[in-house]
Structure 1
């Protein structure tokens, strides 16, 4: 309501003022002040980003090396920002999904969910194909200097990872899902060289060579099971929405909870420029010898950043333009605050509260859409991650001198798409899912460590593209679902009128008695 009042005031001001007055220095100054007032947080975030880079560079010149304790002290204000954002993820995801789906009927929510899934799959596949085309064209693995390879990469089985996704989607304890999630780990088994029989499914060798095998073991690891919470909230929201009047108290509770969390988000956002400044400064300070690393991985970095730029600045806005028929630049500008936050935190889940706020307040997206689309998108929509994994796997193949046929490239496409959907919305989650893609095409997984030196940088840009994809997805789904949303709004109005009339009639009958 406040935003609508501001828009009406600006409209009446423009109509009541002549074009000559609008061009006067006084009115120009007023327009600049109004622009700064409405975008002060965005300006502060960009300023804190620049100040953080300058602070980190200055500290590196003063002291060549910093201890881990000094770096911890420097990034402490930034850690507080990350903690506050992560604190709001659980109540925001649960309350927004439940209240958003409870306000819709099953048919409307089903259509909206189908449109969102189709959008997610389409953009992810486009990102993977774009990454493959750029890597085959630029061939970054055949350029640059020699790349040092290191070992010690964790062993990952693609089948176990797929089963882990299903386990996480259907947790056995919803309370435990708030702080832990199931994960399959591979335990090393060394074969006795003197034992030559075939037992227990292990491959034995009649020579004296030691045969190594791995045994899967499902354990619980620390970390929020966002996928399980999302699946539970979706089914719970649809269920209480179909309960009618009996489910209304729960709907009101979760709507109030979501509104209260969004008010807390607004408070946290005002602190975000301080946290951003120190996060960036600490990251600049703890850099190693970046000149050597950039020389070795220059073409890999250029390929990834080019793909992210094409996907984020051309493909996604073009999808919005064709589907919604509105200016995508204005829409992207409305979520710029969320993009900058993603660039710094490198976590789409931590950026979720800011994304929802920007979509609702700046771009006017229906709250029922943002409550449903953005939490799901922050969980499974990872365009930037999918593009990065496709480029990285092909890059490793080119470095190793492998000749990849069309079958391996298709395998990379399919596996990278599936792995990106299962990647967690946390920093450097793409490295874990990249091991899955490498295993699927038979490449050595130890080469993942070659990208560790620059992954922290590329992770921020691919997270920004992930958040932009979530935001544009919300705009596309809101436009395609506008008729169902209007019909649902009319139905709610009729129900409220009926309830009020029934209350009035009951009161009138009581007075007559």
Structure 2
């Protein structure tokens, strides 16, 4: 019944969105208020995710045997990495085969990237990873993503030959209204600054939870009250989430309606991206079938006995476009299937944070699609993007 109401909410949202587009003029205020119920729904769900993940991971880590915990982490990490690689490979293969970018317009527009910004390097990516896995503030890591930003200094004015009157332009990076870095640099010289952006870093959250869980386990009797508090917090938050999820059909309805009325030329958008959308759907379908085959080969069980217990999480993820908010439904599905709570409470948030095979398929497909639109094709391009 819950899934049927979500589907009904999706259909009603499309109807409201397309209906409002028929009005002679849709004001910005109307767009804001149509989207408001959906925005509030997502906000209250995200409000509960952090305490739910933190409390569950702490309790599970504290109760797990260190040797078993290590094995579970290793197996989960290997599976997540392989799944992400396979997802990106399927996305690249489908886009290279269907070639949606060569069926649309040719030649891309010139980029408007800031010439003073340097493209991120492999070193920057790994630096960002470590900065977010090891946060310096438990609260900040729940809503800020830390990373490196490279900029180029503007100019250098040189006076006399001995350089005593050399004046270097002050190079500063302003992000989120806060001055992050300042210094004197020569013209053309890149400098790196630590930036922060308003997006959650659940890698840091999981690391902190694991650390606290291990510490609570090592504290013995003194750690018991803390673990009891975390277990109680998990139960309370789960009940709160269950109450918020009752508003899913309404939230989804207005999310879709708001998204539709905000698109200026929806027919033109679908016409330009039609084959790309088909390509992504094909890639996701292939990935889904492959996942089912892996499950059948690995467990020798009927996958159609498992799918009904996970449909609610899938629909919620589709409606909210967020894997994190589906964690409570994943817990419920795993419990219904008889999966040990110690296993599901640790692996589910880890997979929801790191496992992005569907996203990898879409991102890789989208990158190659843009390359095809720009007439930058060839096996070398595909390999580099993959």
Please say whether Structure 1 and Structure 2 have the same fold, judged by a TM-score greater than 0.5.
yes
Do the aligned partners of residues 328 and 147 (structure 1) sit closer, same or farther apart at CA in structure 2, a change above 3 Å counting?
farther
Structure-1 residue corresponding to 2:240:
264
Structure-2 residue corresponding to 1:180:
144
Picking from 233, 237, 253, the partner of 2:229 is: 253
8 Å contact kept, 1:184–1:218: yes
Picking from 226, 233, 239, the partner of 2:209 is: 233
Residue deviations 1:330-375 (CA, integer Å, cap 9, x gap): 3222121221111121111233333333333x43332212211111
For 1:403 and 1:276, the matched residues in 2 are separated by: 38
For 1:113 and 1:160, the matched residues in 2 are separated by: 26
Displacement after TM superposition at 1:212 (Å): 5.3
Residue deviations 1:11-42 (CA, integer Å, cap 9, x gap): xxxxxxxxxxxxxxxxxxxxxxxxxxxxx212
8 Å contact kept, 2:120–2:149: no
Structure-1 residue corresponding to 2:169:
none
Runs (4 or more) in structure 1 with deviation over 6 Å come to none
Structure-2 residue corresponding to 1:380:
354
For 2:14 and 2:338, the matched residues in 1 are separated by: 33
For 1:80 and 1:109, the matched residues in 2 are separated by: 37
Q: Which has the higher strand share?
A: 2
Question: Aligned runs of 1:437-452 on 2, under 5 Å?
Answer: none
For 1:212 and 1:65, the matched residues in 2 are separated by: 48
8 Å contact kept, 2:105–2:373: no
Q: Which has the higher helix share?
A: 1
Structure-2 residue corresponding to 1:327:
302
Do the aligned partners of residues 271 and 396 (structure 1) sit closer, same or farther apart at CA in structure 2, a change above 3 Å counting?
closer
For 2:24 and 2:73, the matched residues in 1 are separated by: 52
Do the aligned partners of residues 397 and 372 (structure 1) sit closer, same or farther apart at CA in structure 2, a change above 3 Å counting?
same
For 1:292 and 1:212, the matched residues in 2 are separated by: 41
Q: Radius of gyration: which is bigger?
A: 1
| Paired residue total | 358
Picking from 200, 206, 210, the partner of 1:224 is: 200
CA RMSD of aligned residues (A): 2.5
Structure-2 residue corresponding to 1:315:
290
For 1:103 and 1:64, the matched residues in 2 are separated by: 62
1:169 matches 2:133: yes
Displacement after TM superposition at 1:214 (Å): 4.2
Do the aligned partners of residues 114 and 192 (structure 1) sit closer, same or farther apart at CA in structure 2, a change above 3 Å counting?
same
8 Å contact kept, 2:146–2:195: yes
8 Å contact kept, 1:265–1:354: no
Report the 3-state secondary structure (helix = DSSP H, G, I; strand = E; otherwise coil) of the residue aligned with 2:246. helix
For 1:220 and 1:183, the matched residues in 2 are separated by: 6
8 Å contact kept, 1:169–1:228: yes
Question: Aligned runs of 1:23-422 on 2, under 5 Å?
Answer: 40-61=1-22, 63-146=23-106, 149=109, 151-153=111-113, 155=117, 156-158=119-121, 159-191=123-155, 214-312=190-288, 314-360=289-335, 362-406=336-380, 408-413=381-386
For 1:88 and 1:305, the matched residues in 2 are separated by: 31
Unpaired runs of 5+ residues, structure 1, are 1-39, 200-210, 414-513
Displacement after TM superposition at 1:65 (Å): 4.0
8 Å contact kept, 2:147–2:195: yes
For 2:16 and 2:40, the matched residues in 1 are separated by: 19
* Greater mean alpha carbon deviation, residues 122-131 or residues 235-244: 235-244
Residue deviations 1:443-481 (CA, integer Å, cap 9, x gap): xxxxxxxxxxxxxxxxxxxxxxxxxxxxxxxxxxxxxxx
Structure-2 residue corresponding to 1:493:
none
Do the aligned partners of residues 178 and 293 (structure 1) sit closer, same or farther apart at CA in structure 2, a change above 3 Å counting?
closer
8 Å contact kept, 1:185–1:219: yes
8 Å contact kept, 2:20–2:26: no
8 Å contact kept, 1:78–1:277: yes
Residue deviations 1:58-116 (CA, integer Å, cap 9, x gap): 2222x144222211111211112111110011101100111111121101111111111
Structure having greater relative contact order (Cα 8 Å, sep ≥ 6): 2
Q: TM-score, normalised by structure 2?
A: 0.85
Structure-1 residue corresponding to 2:183:
none
For 1:46 and 1:91, the matched residues in 2 are separated by: 29
Report the 3-state secondary structure (helix = DSSP H, G, I; strand = E; otherwise coil) of the residue aligned with 2:247. helix
Report the 3-state secondary structure (helix = DSSP H, G, I; strand = E; otherwise coil) of the residue aligned with 2:136. coil
